[in-house]
Amino acid sequence: MSKEPPKKPTIADVAALAGVSRAVASRALSSEPRPVAEEKRNRVIKAAQQLGFKPNLLARSLTKKSVNLVAIIVNHIHDLSDLDLFDLLLNEIQQIGKQVILLRVGSVERVEAFLRNGIAYHVDAALVFSDFADAATVRHMFDTDRVLMLNGRHDALSPAVLADEASGIREAVRDAAAKGVRSAALVTGRASSLVEAARIACYREEFERHGIALLRMAQGDYSYQSGHAAAAGLTGRDCPDAIFCTSDAMAMGILDVCRADFPAGRPTRFRLYGFDDVSLTEFDAYPISSIGFDKTRYVSEILRLLSTLEAFVPGTPPVQVPARFVPRLSA
Amino acid sequence: MSKEPPKKPTIADVAALAGVSRAVASRALSSEPRPVAEEKRNRVIKAAQQLGFKPNLLARSLTKKSVNLVAIIVNHIHDLSDLDLFDLLLNEIQQIGKQVILLRVGSVERVEAFLRNGIAYHVDAALVFSDFADAATVRHMFDTDRVLMLNGRHDALSPAVLADEASGIREAVRDAAAKGVRSAALVTGRASSLVEAARIACYREEFERHGIALLRMAQGDYSYQSGHAAAAGLTGRDCPDAIFCTSDAMAMGILDVCRADFPAGRPTRFRLYGFDDVSLTEFDAYPISSIGFDKTRYVSEILRLLSTLEAFVPGTPPVQVPARFVPRLSA
DNA sequence: CTGTTAGCGCATTCAC
DNA sequence: GTGAATGCGCTAACAG
């Protein structure tokens, strides 16, 4: 039975203590400059401090538009494979005075009911990392146009920030070609994903351009385990000169199976290329050449949109952040 | 210029369309069973559907007590070193109809001002992973007793869930002793942390009990890099039989420096023990024996408190989740 | 069972 | 400048 004696002070309490009307107190405490007599303003501020007054932003949001909340939507927390990126993003969002509500949505099925039961429904904007839904679905779910698609499933109405992966793939394949690679294998994720399909197409094109024969393909699910499982089938006899993976984790799995082929991290039998440039590749044990984009730039593009919510006009073209090849020992 | 024509329907609109009062509409739409004539209930539901009505939960939370929001407070996103744990936690919290607002607070300095400007200030409860503040500070910051300390800095007033690390340390040192270890080194984090001090004391005690000589200590910051840096100084001549680290990441750093001493992951010169049992230790390259606790149990203890908020009475004793030794190749 | 009333806490007219 | 009054959308409390 927890009694609730320290009732949180409202602006009325502050006004009373300061001997002014609620309206004056409200104005004095407003972040925007409102006309208030200097003397009264000081009294109000002092009273607020004295009472430990904190405005109830839920109530405020009834009359104002914004709640200063943005939702980040992931499928599974591992979508945030790159914690550095996420940390940067979180920090920057907080810098502009907004807070983050983190939504983990497995399937699209019961999402709406779920949303409706939480504050998340009222966010200023939704950042969609999860690939569970397309732009239209998310707009409908949140009942807002303030949707920023980061999963590649945007449309003409919703803005997006994307890595221009093609540029990175081009550099990686060029690197391989320059090193004499003549044949390759490609390990991919689900081909049903649009971005994945685009990657595959891009690899094929670049292989062709450089006269590299695509000997084999394997399908995984981006995970370490799936790379592990695929390794044997790819590196038996007829081993390609290089193996390209569409995730670093799969490359790590392959590397662990074939570690003997990488004394001191250097390739002897085949070169290994990953994708995403996750921070794990900074560990000595996984010196995997990868493809990554400038996280700072990526985040700042997201924030540019977030800090000017009016910018969410239909037709805003997707922002591309170029990806680069990041050479390490494995290739 | 996005016009705002599709004004969101309010419960008044629904009531009007259904030809009932707002109160009846409210009751009919309530999740809790409220007395409403069956016929009217149906009319209301149909009207709501027809209008695409979604209740404004911000308004609701004005009159109801709960906002169904809980804050998770971290120092740095890497506090969530164990994403599996976090994923589980997030999922479970959502299961009970609450949503998570994620707060990254570097220092305690400007936190209050930050809180005051965000929804987070009104959450139902705060889960504190960050070690930035003690229980009293957090209670004051959130102006609530609904604070659950997960960082070891709880007091008599705030409940806590903790890993009983001593049990795991005991098992690990016993394992070492049984394998003939007679000397050891200990790699720790900041000794200023209470939990870290407790760990160190526990290791010392167990070393003594088993007649293991503590040859050296090194201080890191739990990171891979700090383990990497400490490795040389620990394993030169006079190398101890075992090295115990208070984080897996530090053990990984050491392992990478001394990989030659671990052919096929097995120790030849010294045994290596980590701490936390992060999922990285599942990778072949880092088969580090560790100390971990039952994450499912840990999370369910947290949820037990969260789902009965009245349980947050002063004096609730900390809940202990036993930690166990998790043997792998490195020891 | 139902409808009316009165707030929740705040920001905003609009007169003064 | 200021303050009284009003409304944001919803629900608890109260009469009917």
The CATH number of the domain where B98 resides is what? Answer: 3.40.50
Mean pLDDT of B211-221: 96
Task: Examine the pLDDT at A242 and tell me if it is beyond 90.
Answer: yes
pTM above 0.85, yes or no: yes
pLDDT (0 to 100) of residue A81: 63
Tell me how far apart the alpha carbons of residues B168 and B175 are, in angstroms, rounded to a whole number.
Answer: 11
- For chain A positions 163-202, those within 8 Å of chain B (CB to CB) are none
Minimum Cα–Cα distance from B88: chain A residue = A77
Tell me whether residue A306 is in a domain: no
Structural domain that includes position A33:
11-55
Tell me whether residue A213 is in a domain: yes
Would you say A53 and A9 are in contact if contact means Cβ atoms under 8 Å apart? yes
Minimum Cα–Cα distance from A68: chain B residue = B118
Backbone angles phi, psi at A285, to 5 degrees: -70, -15
pLDDT (0 to 100) of residue B1: 36
Averaged pLDDT score across all residues of chain B: 89
Is strand C in 7 Å reach of the CB of B174? no
Tell me how far apart the alpha carbons of residues B320 and B24 are, in angstroms, rounded to a whole number.
Answer: 47
| The three-state (H, E, C) secondary structure of B79-105, written as one string | HHCCHHHHHHHHHHHHHCCCEEEEEEC
Is strand C in 7 Å reach of the CB of B58? no
Is strand C in 7 Å reach of the CB of A26? yes
Q: Is B270 helix (H, G, I), strand (E, B) or coil?
A: coil
Choose from A149-158, B100-109, B250-259 the range with maximum mean pLDDT: B250-259
A98:B118 CB<8 A: yes
Task: Examine the pLDDT at A210 and tell me if it is beyond 90.
Answer: yes
Q: In chain A, what residues touch B55 (CB-CB under 8 Å)? A: 116
Would you say B284 and A255 are in contact if contact means Cβ atoms under 8 Å apart? no
Between A48-57, A108-117, A124-133, B236-245, the lowest mean confidence (pLDDT) is in A108-117
Instruction: Identify which of B57, B77, B117 has the shortest CB distance to residue A118.
Output: B57
pLDDT (0 to 100) of residue B114: 76
For residues A133 and A221, state if they share a domain: no
Mean pLDDT of B250-263: 95
Would you say A265 and A287 are in contact if contact means Cβ atoms under 8 Å apart? yes
For residues A282 and A195, state if they share a domain: yes
Does residue A2 come out as left (phi exceeding 0), alpha (psi in the -120 to 50 range) or beta? beta
A76:B98 CB<8 A: no
Task: Examine the pLDDT at B127 and tell me if it is beyond 50.
Answer: yes
For residues A249 and A185, state if they share a domain: yes
For residues B291 and B182, state if they share a domain: yes
For residues A135 and A171, state if they share a domain: no
Q: In chain B, what residues touch A147 (CB-CB under 8 Å)? A: none
DSSP of A248-306, one letter per residue?
HHHHHHHHHHTGGGSGGG--SS-EEE-SS--GGGGSTT---BEEEE-HHHHHHHHHHHH
Domain end position, chosen among B160, B182, B199 = B160
**Where does the pLDDT of residue B38 fall: very low under 50, low under 70, confident under 90, or very high at 90 and above?**
confident
Instruction: Identify which of B54, B114, B120 has the shortest CB distance to residue A116.
Output: B54
Domain end position, chosen among A121, A137, A160 = A160
- For chain A positions 125-154, those within 8 Å of chain B (CB to CB) are 143, 145
For residues A37 and A153, state if they share a domain: no
pLDDT (0 to 100) of residue A5: 40
Task: Examine the pLDDT at A1 and tell me if it is beyond 60.
Answer: no
Q: In chain A, what residues touch B119 (CB-CB under 8 Å)? A: 57-58, 67-69, 99, 119
| B81 vs B223, more confident | B223
The CA-based angle B209-B212-B217, given to 5 degrees, is 115
Number of domain units in chain A: 3
Tell me how far apart the alpha carbons of residues A20 and A24 are, in angstroms, rounded to a whole number.
Answer: 6
pLDDT (0 to 100) of residue B5: 44
DSSP of A221-238, one letter per residue?
-SSHHHHHHHHHHHHSSS
Alpha helices in B72-164 (DSSP H): 83-95, 111-116, 135-142
> Which tokens sit at B265?
């992951």
Task: Examine the pLDDT at B81 and tell me if it is beyond 70.
Answer: no
Give the amino acid at A39: E
DSSP of B15-68, one letter per residue?
HHHHTS-HHHHHHHH-SS-----HHHHHHHHHHHHHHT----HHHHHHHSS---
For residues B153 and B168, state if they share a domain: no
Mean pLDDT of B104-131: 81
For residues B154 and B168, state if they share a domain: no
Averaged pLDDT score across all residues of chain A: 89
Through-space separation of residue B86 CA and nucleotide C7 C1' in angstroms: 40
pLDDT (0 to 100) of residue B135: 92
| B234 vs B30, more confident | B234
**Where does the pLDDT of residue B30 fall: very low under 50, low under 70, confident under 90, or very high at 90 and above?**
confident
For residues A214 and A264, state if they share a domain: yes
The fraction of chain B above a pLDDT of 90, given in percent, is: 58
How many residues make up chain B in this entry? Answer: 331
Would you say B184 and B207 are in contact if contact means Cβ atoms under 8 Å apart? yes
**Where does the pLDDT of residue B205 fall: very low under 50, low under 70, confident under 90, or very high at 90 and above?**
very high
Q: Is A196 helix (H, G, I), strand (E, B) or coil?
A: helix
Q: Give B183's strand partners.
A: B213
pLDDT (0 to 100) of residue B111: 78
Task: Examine the pLDDT at A325 and tell me if it is beyond 70.
Answer: yes
For residues A136 and A207, state if they share a domain: no
Tell me whether residue A3 is in a domain: no
**Which residue in A10, A73, A15, A77 sits closest to A40, CA to CA?**
A15
For residues B169 and B290, state if they share a domain: yes
Torsion of the alpha carbons at B174, B178, B181 and B186, rounded to the nearest 10:
-20
Tell me whether residue B178 is in a domain: yes
pLDDT (0 to 100) of residue A34: 78
Task: Examine the pLDDT at A6 and tell me if it is beyond 70.
Answer: no
- Spell out the residues 6+ positions from residue B226 whose beta carbon is closer than 8 angstroms to its own: B220, B250, B253
For residues B117 and B149, state if they share a domain: yes
